[in-house]
């Protein structure tokens, strides 16, 4: 099996990969291998499929990084008239 060294990867890209790896329960190396393997299958990289847990973690991260954006109300909150 070969090794790959990629120089000059921006820190924010590495942080994003590390975060995605954490959400997925993988190491950084495992996450990068998964991404690279996805490109071996034609069209596999066009649509990222997230688990419920990954979507929840991404939503939580988004809201923590963008406090000015208010979350949507749940159906139950809408029914109860909570605004």
Residue 60 is predicted with a pLDDT of 82
Question: pLDDT of 30-61, one tens digit each?
Answer: 999 988 887 776 665 556 677 778 878 888 88
Residue 36 is predicted with a pLDDT of 86
Q: Which residue has the higher pLDDT, 25 or 78?
A: 25
Residue 44 is predicted with a pLDDT of 56
Integer Cα distance of 53 and 61 in angstroms: 12
The answer to whether 39 and 45 have CB atoms below 8 angstroms apart is yes
Enter the pTM of the model.
Answer: 0.49
């Amino acid at each position: 099996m070969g090794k790959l060294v990629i120089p000059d990867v921006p820190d924010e890209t590495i942080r994003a990969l590390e975060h995605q790896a954490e959400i997925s329960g993988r190491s950084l190396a495992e996450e990068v291998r998964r991404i690279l393997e996805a490109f071996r299958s034609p069209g596999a990289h066009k649509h990222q499929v997230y688990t419920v847990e990954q979507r929840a973690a991404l939503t939580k991260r988004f809201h923590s990084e963008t406090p000015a954006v208010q979350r949507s109300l749940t159906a139950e909150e809408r029914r109860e008239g909570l605004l």
